[in-house]
Structure 1
């Protein structure tokens, strides 16, 4: 049994593959400064992240996280706290403060001058942190601290940059300042603070676990003070996040009950719901519904309100929107919002549909018109063709192939080309003829 425990402890031992501690500390100290190139990189990363949040692009936001140097001073603060190097701790916190102020200024300026100020889902998701964000920040910080102390750094560092997500909440706070929303600002700054503090604390734990030599020997009383400060800070940050997590759980539970209610009382009875909106944060809560054709009497609405309690949907008022004007306005607002949150897949589909529409010609209608002007033509087909692909001189030209018993010649040929250019609003048309199913010949 003792051998099994010994083997297990050896298996999870972090001292294996550890980098020389002097080199680790030199590397940590080199990455905490925010001046020169690091400041420029931070400013550019802030702009990239702000654009990603502005256009709701997850890929762009991830790119900003990867190029951001914000992890440096936070890890430095964790090391400074772990080895009781208070000069390193002060320098790290000072640089983190500078980075935070620069990040807020750049993001606020961007969102202030940006013409697009719609609140995208990527922005909304950074305004109400909960206990899960703390777990992510702490776990990510552990991975980052472990990777920094290894000889082989490997892939964890970019992963930590993405998982801990320091840039988006900082940019969201800038958005809050730009649009004058203190709820956005304080919610995002709280999330940013959670990430910074728990990355720092997890680094502190790794430094202590690896038993890095302390720079200054503290008395037992002072060590106790440090532990009290860390405990107090953790408590202050955890309690609100637990409340937010509870609110999230209650909201999901409430929405599930609402979905069951709608399915049982309307969908299963063949009543089509045209509009649905839940206002969870109101008191009482409000469930707004609009229907395609069904009209409800006051008695039916009252009965539906009473049924809400049997589905454990408490403190909620059901509002059936039967006024055509109000319902139309709400539906248009909902459509406008949905348009702003189109996924990249939807945008790609729309672009492809546009390309298909641009390349489509109504051969049947064109044939009917052409036969009036040129009775000898029996059939046609027309489509766009790309010339000089892969070069700077790429051009798209409509190609018409017509089938007839007799080939158009001279003035008739010119008239057909001229008419098609005018009819299709194209500068250039190429025409080919096919006589008696032979190989097409260019006119």
Structure 2
């Protein structure tokens, strides 16, 4: 359940807003008069499944007005307890989903290129590089948890789903800068410590298999679905499963030690994971019907989604071909 606070001017639009609220069949709503005589505050207790439709209707009602604001507040509990008739929806099979505005706020924060993002990337790269080189599973897992690279990937997919070019391009910039910083840090670390090519954790990041793509796609689906349902806590497990930073740190360590073939394999693993995550997130956001409010914006978003899906499929196909070629080459050399 959520509470929607609508702060607006007392004009003819007020009655239209009230009708939109009633049409959404809320659990309850009330109007609060304010000190300013020309303003009112409406508190609406929403059912989970009716929130997005009401938000879209309110945007339509108020788009020609000025000086209005809508605030969305999650409700943890109420007293007295809601009866089953009050809490159940008209469609009991309706899936729980966060509002578009809630998802946008959560994802855009994770896709922002700021000082904290850069510091986290640098620190997680240091932890990953040392963990890989010392064959420390705990260190590698710790780097996966604190690495923030999943945020811009979800931001890219969500920006495409909404046709939001600002979020799309901003997430791309954040991801590129994050990966470049991780490579730079890991290369510098390779000059400071001797790279141990006997480390199983390090060498495993140069092993690229098709089951890794399946794992990344499953992790991407889980990440997008958890964001769509407003369950961001699940992302910690997804970060571990996606394993974005360790391959990036491995690329830098291999480059610094002159192991070009191993660096290429680790880079292929990193690219495969990123493409798989983007592809999976795009599909999930599309299936969950996350799209813009306006019809024309929906057309742009649809084109952006299918364009990026096509690019992702093409890149995944290229990665699969490279994996098969590398495997064949390895088998021929062994034979």
Range of TM-score over shorter length:
0.5 to 0.7
Deviation at 1:238, TM superposition (A): 2.4
Q: 1:53-202 residue pairs with structure 2 within 5 A?
A: 53-154=132-233, 156-202=234-280
Task: Please say if 1:240 is aligned against 2:319.
Answer: no
User: What is the CA distance between 1:78 and its match in structure 2?
Assistant: 1.1
Shift of 1:127: 1.0
**Structure 2 unaligned blocks of 5 or more:** 1-90
How many pairs were matched up?
241
Structure 1 pair 185–85 and aligned structure 2 pair: CA distance change class (3 A): same
Aligned pairs for 1:12-411 (under 5 A) are: 16-154=95-233, 156-214=234-292, 215=297, 217-218=299-300, 225-244=307-326, 281-282=333-334, 285=335
Shift in alpha-carbon separation, 1:213–1:192, aligned structure 2, 3 A:
same
1:115 deviates by 3.5
Pick which of 28-37 and 217-226 moved more. Answer: 217-226
The two structures have a TM-score, normalised by structure 1, of 0.50
Q: Kindly tell me: are residues 118 and 225 of structure 1, through their superposed partners in 2, closer, same or farther at Cα, counting changes over 3 Å? A: closer
Render the CA deviation track for 1:376-401: whole Å, top value 9, x for unaligned.
Answer: xxxxxxxxxxxxxxxxxxxxxxxxxx
| Structure 1 residues 226 and 55, CA gap change in structure 2 (3 angstroms) | closer
Instruction: Work out which structure has the larger RCO, using CA pairs closer than 8 Å and 6 or more positions apart in sequence.
Output: 2
Larger gyration radius, structure 1 or structure 2: 1
Alignment correspondent of 2:40: none
Q: CA deviation at 1:229?
A: 2.9
Q: Indicate how the Cα distance of structure 1 residues 159 and 247 shifts in structure 2: closer, same or farther if over 3 A, else same.
A: farther
Contact 2:98 2:229 in 1 (8 A): yes
Runs of at least 5 residues in structure 1 that lack an aligned partner in the other structure: 1-9, 252-279, 286-443
Question: Following TM superposition, by how much is the alpha carbon of 1:234 offset from its aligned partner in structure 2, in angstroms?
Answer: 2.7
Q: Secondary structure at the residue paired with 2:333?
A: coil
8 Å CA contact retained: 1:19, 1:149: yes
Distance 1:143 1:100 in 2: 22
- Displacement of 1:145 in angstroms is 0.7
Q: What TM-score comes out, normalization by structure 2 length?
A: 0.66
Partners of 2:254 and 2:111 in 1: how far apart?
27
Q: 1:43 to 1:194 in 2, by over 3 A?
A: same
State how far apart, in whole Å, the 1-side matches of 2:102 and 2:228 are: 9
Q: Tell me, what secondary structure is at the counterpart of 1:128? A: coil
Q: How far 1:122 moved relative to its partner?
A: 1.1
- Secondary structure of 1:235's match? helix
Distance 1:16 1:246, change over 3 A: farther
- Any conservation in 2 of the 1:77–1:200 contact (CA below 8 Å)? yes
Q: How many Å apart are 1:152 and its aligned residue? A: 3.6
1:53-75 C-alpha deviation (Å, 9 max, x unpaired): 01001111001101111100011
Distance in 2 (alpha carbons) for counterparts of 1:225 and 1:150: 25
Instruction: Give the secondary-structure state (helix, strand or coil) at the position aligned to 1:105.
Output: helix
1:141/1:199 contact within 8 Å kept: yes
Which residue of 2 is the match for residue 391 of structure 1? none
